[in-house]
Each structure stands twice: as structure tokens, then as C-alpha cells.
């Protein structure tokens, strides 16, 4: 059996590196992300590199298979957490930053040192209301996916928990 034939017979499973072309839309039909077949998303299946609902839906697909997949918030970025908002006084921001609603920020938690991403939800008189939810929290995600490549992961990729590509060696 030639390698090409073996790869054609492979199906998406844990321990395989998947090359995925996709389009992602929200409920309103707005396209918010995509990867073309000539520049696909490459990930290690079963390592939690992509959202669980999409990873589950891709299992068993073969090269050339196309599928539409809708992923509910619980299997994507979670529901919107109403407690994940924080009012930050304006003097906590660098003076040279022009704050705008919808602007993304990276912050470091002073207690844990952990980096967090936040978005300015609202500019109020007493400060900026930051939304610490993922921007897609609470959204049902609608994917059109195509498997454009499959291969066995290397031992290094398994050990590191992600696929290695030509421009990403660790």
C-alpha cells in the first residue's frame, strides 16, 4: 500500500495531525474566521488544541470530507459569565492609550501573574467596564469544514501536545 493510499484511508482520530479548511459564522450569518485549503489550520487531534465540540464532530472524517457543524456555547467558549466584568478606573490605564468600546486589551492579574485578555464593554464616567469573557462566549458557532490533510503525529508533537509546522518548531 502506498503512503498516499494509506493517508486517503486515514480518518480523523487522536494522535493524528489534521489540516483543516473552514469557515466560521455566527447565528446572524456573519463570517468571523476562515482558513483556506491552501493555508489550513493544522492541529493535533485529541490534544485539546481546538474547541471540544468541533474536535468531536471532526472525528472519523477523511481527507476530502466536507461537513457543516454547529457548536453550542457549552462545547465552544462557554456561556457569557455575567460576573466576568470589572470596572477599572481610567487612571489604571497608560495615559497615551486612547480607549474605545470593543478594544481588546491584555492584562496581567496582580495576584496570580496570569495574563488575561479583556475587551472594553463600556466607557463610563467612573472608568472602563472590562469584559473578561472570551469574545465568542455565549455564541453558537457554525462551521463549514473540510479535511485537507491527515498524517500521524511525531513523538515530539505528541509530547508537546501540538502540531509542528514549518514555521513553528516548538
Q: Do domains 3-77+137-160 and 85-131 have the same CATH topology?
A: no
Q: What pLDDT does 30 receive?
A: 94
Domain locations along the chain? 3-77+137-160, 85-131
Q: Which of 12, 42, 44, 46 is nearest to 157 (CA)?
A: 44
Please tell me the CATH code under which domain 85-131 is placed. Answer: 2.40.10
Q: What pLDDT does 168 receive?
A: 46
d(CA 49, CA 156): 15
Other Cβ atoms closer than 10 A to 37: 13
Residues of the chain with pLDDT under 50: 1-2, 168-170
Q: What pLDDT does 116 receive?
A: 82
Q: What pLDDT does 52 receive?
A: 95
* DSSP codes of every residue in 59-124: TT-BTT-EEEEEE-GGGTT----TT-EEEE-GGGS-TT----TT-EEEEE-TTT--EEEEEEEEEE
Residue 128 to residues 89, 110, 113, 118, Cα–Cα distance (Å): 6, 18, 21, 11
Global pTM reads: 0.79
Q: What pLDDT does 129 receive?
A: 96
> Which CATH architecture describes the domain 3-77+137-160?
Roll (3.10)
Amino acid at each position: 500500500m502506498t503512503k498516499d493510499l494509506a493517508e486517503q484511508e486515514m480518518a480523523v482520530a487522536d494522535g493524528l495531525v489534521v489540516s483543516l479548511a473552514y469557515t466560521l459564522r455566527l447565528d446572524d450569518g456573519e463570517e468571523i474566521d476562515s482558513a483556506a485549503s491552501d493555508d489550513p489550520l493544522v492541529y493535533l487531534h485529541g490534544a485539546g488544541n481546538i474547541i471540544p465540540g468541533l474536535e468531536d464532530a471532526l472525528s472519523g472524517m477523511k481527507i476530502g470530507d466536507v461537513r457543516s457543524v454547529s457548536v453550542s456555547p457549552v462545547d465552544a467558549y462557554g456561556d457569557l459569565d455575567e460576573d466576568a466584568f470589572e470596572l477599572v478606573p481610567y487612571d489604571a490605564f497608560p495615559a497615551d492609550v486612547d480607549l474605545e468600546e470593543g478594544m481588546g486589551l491584555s492584562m496581567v492579574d496582580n495576584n496570580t501573574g496570569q495574563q488575561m485578555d479583556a475587551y472594553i464593554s463600556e466607557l463610563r464616567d467612573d472608568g472602563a467596564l472590562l469584559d473578561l469573557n472570551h469574545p465568542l462566549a455565549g455564541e453558537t458557532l457554525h462551521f463549514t469544514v473540510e479535511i485537507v490533510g491527515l498524517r500521524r503525529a511525531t513523538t515530539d508533537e505528541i509530547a508537546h501536545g501540538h502540531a509542528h509546522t514549518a514555521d513553528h518548531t516548538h
